[in-house]
Chain A
Amino acid sequence: MSIAAELPVPPATPDPVDPLLEVRDLHTWFDTPRGMVRAVDGVSFTLRRGASIGIVGESGSGKTVLSRSIMNLLPKKAAVPASGEVLFEGRDLRPMSSKQMRSYWGPQMAMVFQDPMTSLNGVVKIGRQITEGLRQHLDLSRQDADAEAVRLLTSVGIPAPERRLGEYPHQLSGGMRQRVTIAIALACGPKLLMADEPTTALDVTVQAQILDLLARQQAERSMGMVLVTHDLGVVANRTDDIAVMYAGQIVEKASTRTLFRRMRHPYTEALMRCIPRVENPSHTRLDAIPGRPPDLAALPVGCRFAPRCRYAQPECLAENPPLFSDEPGHEYRCFFPVGTSAGAEALERNERAGSTAAGTTMDLLTKASA
């Protein structure tokens, strides 16, 4: 008997007509005293059943708001009546009330938050935090729910699970706590798992364990997973697709393999340079992308990345590029894509001029990324 035969049956060939999650032109804006903050500004992507997508972007790119918008967890009052659709199994979640969402939260979609220290309730026993969802949705008795909780804790790799049920979150380490929140999310067997920076608050030593756990559970349960992170390295081997977010928009989206081989967007390229490489000699300076992302309340007319871009041309300042595509499933928001002749010419022009069309000196951009 081969090992492959023991693995759970792989999900059936994904049906492109019947995606699990389809986000269409999603906007989430907040009306603040500073002006309209366009945290999510026209995001579209599709997630097949049992597939995974990584959403990568730096702080302030709108990725957390995006994940909460998809979950419909944002306070209704906070966001401006938003446009766009979040289709879950073909049904739009956006107009649903919290009451309607309650039958989705748990058994259909669940979420793992960034910091288990704040996302677990410090004054409620771990057992009850896991079982209350089970009892709510699956109508289990107290004993059955406890037994299921023990099974869940075992499956996420927590030793002595029976004892943990009676403990409080502060009695566990950070990694163990995040395993508990994963167990909570998995409790009712959701079809979609949203993981919002699940390892950012953890020690580096346990980050990989938690990510592997998520990937394993996702595969075993053939769940759809959206993994939100600021670290391109985190999603590199763990998700099917990657969407790179910048200033509220997806600037490049492709299958993971394509993205790493043929990135088109200068921001993706810059992010790649930020991944530390083992083969580099020690004490190599880590690359950083100079500058900061734009203020989401005062976005430029043109490309939002232009001020930090080595390729920026006058066109980039005049108009925000739409999504282009030169192969199926690969989209990017750039007039002068990396790896094309247009991109190469743009870069050469800027190098000759010593500064980009946005007025940023090339030295600043190249020194940091050389």
Chain B
Amino acid sequence: MARLIGQKLLTLVPVLLAVSLLTYLLLNLLPGDPALLVLGPESVSAESIAAVRAELGLDRPLPVRYLAWLGAAATGDLGRSYITQQEVTGAILDRLPVTLELMVLSLTIALVLAIPLGVFSAYRAGSRFDKLVTGTTFGLLALPNFIFALLLIFFLSVRLGLFPATGWQPLSDGLVENLQSAFLPALALSVTNIAVFTRLLRTDMITTLQEDHVTLARSKGLPTWRILFRHALRPSSFSLLTVAGLQVGTLLSATVIVETIFALPGVGRLLFDAINSRDLLMVQGVVLVLAVSFVLVNFVVDLLYTFLDPRIRSGAARVRA
């Protein structure tokens, strides 16, 4: 098992290098001189431009700059924003817990709703319940996150006053307050995933339910819930797991919109503000952190397969032997 994790970790190295290179090139290939951005639009002397360029290290060739940036990034130093003068790493770390909580909460909501919905609509495929679920999820898929966010704010906050419309209560203010402020944005984020996960699980589950081992489980006289959840769910959840990992990427970009609508102090909002103020180093730092998190989440998903399917575990054992 440790060997398996080690092997997979090694494959991460080139992926992470590629991610960092692309992130770096992304902003360095943009037209325009960052020094001009720093100095502002007023007419500036060639000397001050040269001075800023030297300060930013822009006078050195690109590969050298990349390696220097990479080296600093590896030690956790992503530079200092020349707009707000904040440490990029510090700014991201301040905001990361909010975004992390949103993502975890929204994935949890999506899975808690999608697993029973998917399982039962597969079990009763073609029934009125199944048609209702299929129709609803189809509707949800057609609805963009931000529309749903606005609808939630309108009905649950403005009309019913159940949740605050905007703002964030940190965990230090109490769990209930914290969850209250996180629930609506997390729900808004989970809408697409509820629909995607339900439909995916339903399809895989229908296939599994036709397999012989399910018939064998029935022929043991087991109750239906046991057959569905103990026998059929696990073999049906491989694509669900894969897609859940990939959806983290979609979620990360959705947080930019949702955190802005709900005025949450998260990384998505930070990115939004940084883009607006052309804070290139901040954008670079946030994009790098998001890309690396995406890679790491999918690395964890890879490991989770081995828990879902014992055959993968012994496959690794055979490689070792």
Contact, CB under 8 Å: A184 / B216: yes
Contact, CB under 8 Å: B221 / A118: no
User: Given A119-B212, A121-B213, A124-B230, A102 and B221 touching (CB < 8 A)?
Assistant: yes
Q: Which of B275-321 contact A (CB under 8 A)?
A: 308-311, 314
Contact, CB under 8 Å: A115 / B212: yes
Instruction: Enumerate chain B residues within 8 angstroms of A105, measured Cβ to Cβ.
Output: 218-221
Chain A contributes a number of interface residues (CB within 8 A of B) equal to: 35
Contact, CB under 8 Å: A132 / B216: no
A200 at the interface (CB under 8 A from B): no
Contact, CB under 8 Å: A122 / B309: yes
Work out how many contacts link A and B, with CB atoms closer than 8 A: 83
Instruction: Enumerate chain B residues within 8 angstroms of A168, measured Cβ to Cβ.
Output: 310-311, 314
Instruction: Enumerate chain B residues within 8 angstroms of A171, measured Cβ to Cβ.
Output: 314
B234 at the interface (CB under 8 A from A): yes
User: Given A118-B211, A168-B311, A111 and B216 touching (CB < 8 A)?
Assistant: yes
Majority DSSP secondary structure for residues of B touching A: helix
Our pick among A98, A102, A103, A181 for the contact of B216 (Cβ within 8 Å) is A181
Our pick among B234, B235, B311 for the contact of A170 (Cβ within 8 Å) is B311
Instruction: Enumerate chain B residues within 8 angstroms of A119, measured Cβ to Cβ.
Output: 212-213, 215-216
Instruction: Enumerate chain B residues within 8 angstroms of A110, measured Cβ to Cβ.
Output: 219-220
Contact, CB under 8 Å: A101 / B212: no
B23 to chain A, nearest CB (A): 39
Contact, CB under 8 Å: A137 / B216: no
Instruction: Enumerate chain B residues within 8 angstroms of A184, measured Cβ to Cβ.
Output: 216, 220
User: Given A118-B211, A122-B310, A98 and B219 touching (CB < 8 A)?
Assistant: no
Instruction: Enumerate chain A residues within 8 angstroms of B95, measured Cβ to Cβ.
Output: none
B217 at the interface (CB under 8 A from A): yes
A260 at the interface (CB under 8 A from B): no
Q: Which of A80-134 contact B (CB under 8 A)?
A: 98, 101-107, 110-111, 113-115, 118-124, 132-133
- Please, how many angstroms separate the alpha-carbon atoms of A122 and B236 in the complex? 12
Contact, CB under 8 Å: A132 / B213: no
A136 at the interface (CB under 8 A from B): yes
- Please, how many angstroms separate the alpha-carbon atoms of A12 and B308 in the complex? 50
A171 to chain B, nearest CB (A): 7
Contact, CB under 8 Å: A73 / B215: yes
B231 at the interface (CB under 8 A from A): yes
Our pick among B221, B308, B309, B311 for the contact of A136 (Cβ within 8 Å) is B221
B interface vs A, CB < 8 Å?
A: 126, 211-213, 215-224, 226, 230-231, 234-235, 308-311, 314
A interface vs B, CB < 8 Å?
A: 68, 71, 73, 77, 98, 101-107, 110-111, 113-115, 118-124, 132-133, 136-137, 168, 170-171, 181, 184, 187-188
5 A–B contact pairs at CB < 8 A?
A: A102-B223, A121-B217, A123-B309, A124-B234, A132-B226
